[in-house]
Amino acid sequence: MATLIEQHPLYDTLPVGQDVIFTVSNTSVVSSYTNVKFIAEVHISSTFAPNPSTNTDVVGTFKTTPNNAGVGMFDFRPIIESFVNADNLARQGSAYKTVVNTSETNVPIHLIDKFSGNVNSMRYLVIQFKVQYIDAAGNLVNTGAVNSDLYQLLNGYLKYTDVLDLVGNNFGYNLNSFNLNGSSKSFLTNAPTTQYANLEDYGTLGLWMVNGYSASNVNGIGGVRATYYDSDGNYISDEEIYSYAANGGFNTNNGYIGTNLLFFGCFPANLQGSSTMFQNLVSAGTIQGGHYELVVLSDPGQIISLIYTVNLNCPTLKGFEPIRLTWLNQWGTWDYYTFTMKSSKTISTQGSTYQQLAGSWNQSAYRIDSFKGGKKAFRVNATEKISMNTDFVSESESEWFEELINSPEVYILKGYEDVVETSSALNQYVTPVRLTTSNYTKKTVANDKLMQYTFEVEKSKTLRTQAV
């Protein structure tokens, strides 16, 4: 009475925002018994691969009846997508301005010095299927257990334009272009490989590898090489920033899911907190107006990623206050953009009012107080909106901004400061906002020549004043 998995996801890494279809069959049971049910026992782990023979990682058991073709069909998307979330905070053991993050020190992921493993972005998945029926004696029987392959859940989604591969009945999206094992592979983002930033800008890149992270494994990720250039494009120096437990990374690959996706603090403010070489370049004024290149290295020092370039804006900018946004991208890591052109802030208020008496009625004598009387605000709730403009952007940046519009999490990210305040970093640097720009027209060079965009955000938290 063998239970067969007839259909399953094509690839072992699953963006949870896609259909996760399994189809199972057991011809002998379906044709011979009544009250047949197919059972799916879902095992999800945040640490190591689940063991279907135990109940340790079971998150739910689900049943379905055979359809007209005699098979049981399951879509696990509504179940699994609630088990991954954005990594907003750095993993314990990473550092912020050389201060090691502990469980009591909540440091935003964007501020990390070097590395941080993922905490919420990935999970392991195994599903055990069985068939259930009532035998001739009236007993309820569960039989024919079969286990799925081991899958990795990724906090991502698919667009309608993303092309699915189809082999037989199995389909899925191939994430191999993000699997860091060769010089053509990308960081876990759709952002352009060339970006612009100020010296005060924080930000990270997601480093993902199917087989996990290991500085001691030839087939794993060892670290990142940063190469610095001056404003004329001349080479200055380079350094290799390797992943170790002491700097938020990992030394070994032991199958732990936290090693499979690593965040690297790659923008200028992160490097000012972690790299003595970069600090010296900033102090000497050598790097201003220049750029640096980032590549991922295997442990032997082989390049296993594309080149990612960060161009440094001139310190003077254009006289406008820069505003840096970060948002959760399609693949569950973070993207960043600094708006360097004109911005404007407006504050709208609303609240209830009441008519206050002009004098004091609850004292030994009536007295008229000049500060009393008339219509008064009982409480004022203030909401701040910010309108910001991009500089002229490329066509690839224009396409990339679509993810900003679609993102469920958007924040304003404050810039670098010399003062180390680890205890208040969470409130000090990250402000949640809601994108109120609801319409987005994708521009092209052919149609629009020089392209600029205007976005408006509203701070999510309303300021509540004193109650009168």
CATH number of the domain that 29 lies in?
Answer: 2.60.40
d(CA 14, CA 77): 10
Residue environment code for 41-79, b if the CB has 16+ CB neighbours within 10 A, otherwise e: bbbbbbeebbebeeeebebeeeeeebeeeebbbbebeeb
d(CA 314, CA 323): 15
| Termini Cα distance of the chain | 74
- Do 169 and 183 belong to one domain? no
**Angle at 289 (CA atoms; ends 319, 345), nearest 5 degrees:** 25
- Do 317 and 396 belong to one domain? yes
Is 388 part of any domain? yes
- Do 245 and 221 belong to one domain? yes
Read off the tokens for 211.
């087989």
Number of structural domains (the chain) is: 2
Strands 13-17 and 151-157: parallel
- Do 128 and 253 belong to one domain? no
Is 439 part of any domain? yes
Is 73 part of any domain? yes
- Do 224 and 132 belong to one domain? no
| pLDDT, tens digit, 9 for 90 and up, residues 183-209 | 999 999 999 999 999 999 999 999 998
Confidence at residue 55, expressed as pLDDT on a 0 to 100 scale: 87
Question: Among candidates 123, 149, 133, which has minimal Cα distance to 59?
Answer: 123
Is 319 in contact with 343 (CB distance < 8 Å)?
no
- Do 229 and 311 belong to one domain? yes
d(CA 196, CA 89): 24
- Do 448 and 303 belong to one domain? yes
Q: Which helix (H) or strand (E) holds 407?
A: none
CA distances from 198 to 114, 239, 271, 339 (A): 18, 21, 12, 10
Is 236 part of any domain? yes
Question: Among candidates 384, 389, 402, which has minimal Cα distance to 443?
Answer: 402
Instruction: Please give the full DSSP string across 93-158, using - where no structure is assigned.
Output: TBEETTEEP-TT---BGGG-SSEEE-SSSEEEEEEEEEEEEE-TTS-EEEEEEEEPPPEEEEEEE-
Domain of 440 in residue numbering reads as: 178-344+382-464
Last residue of a domain, one of 111, 143, 174: 174
- Do 261 and 337 belong to one domain? yes
- Do 229 and 313 belong to one domain? yes
Residue environment code for 331-369, b if the CB has 16+ CB neighbours within 10 A, otherwise e: bbbbbbbbbbbebeeeeeeeeeeeeeeeeeeeeeeeeee
Is 94 part of any domain? no
Is 177 in contact with 186 (CB distance < 8 Å)?
yes
Residue environment code for 424-452, b if the CB has 16+ CB neighbours within 10 A, otherwise e: ebeeebbbebebeeeeeeebeeeeeeebe
- Do 137 and 185 belong to one domain? no
Last residue of a domain, one of 159, 174, 189: 174
Confidence at residue 219, expressed as pLDDT on a 0 to 100 scale: 61
Which residues, given as ranges, of the chain have pLDDT below 70? 1, 103-105, 212-219, 251-253, 315-319, 343, 348-362, 365-382, 419-426, 438-450, 460-468
Confidence at residue 424, expressed as pLDDT on a 0 to 100 scale: 58
CA dihedral over 276, 94, 157, 9, signed as positive or negative: positive
Is 153 part of any domain? yes
Confidence at residue 215, expressed as pLDDT on a 0 to 100 scale: 46
Confidence at residue 151, expressed as pLDDT on a 0 to 100 scale: 96
Is 114 part of any domain? no
Is 453 in contact with 236 (CB distance < 8 Å)?
no
- Do 79 and 224 belong to one domain? no
- Do 216 and 327 belong to one domain? yes
Say whether pTM exceeds 0.95: no
Last residue of a domain, one of 174, 193, 219: 174
d(CA 432, CA 461): 7
Is 440 part of any domain? yes
Confidence at residue 213, expressed as pLDDT on a 0 to 100 scale: 54
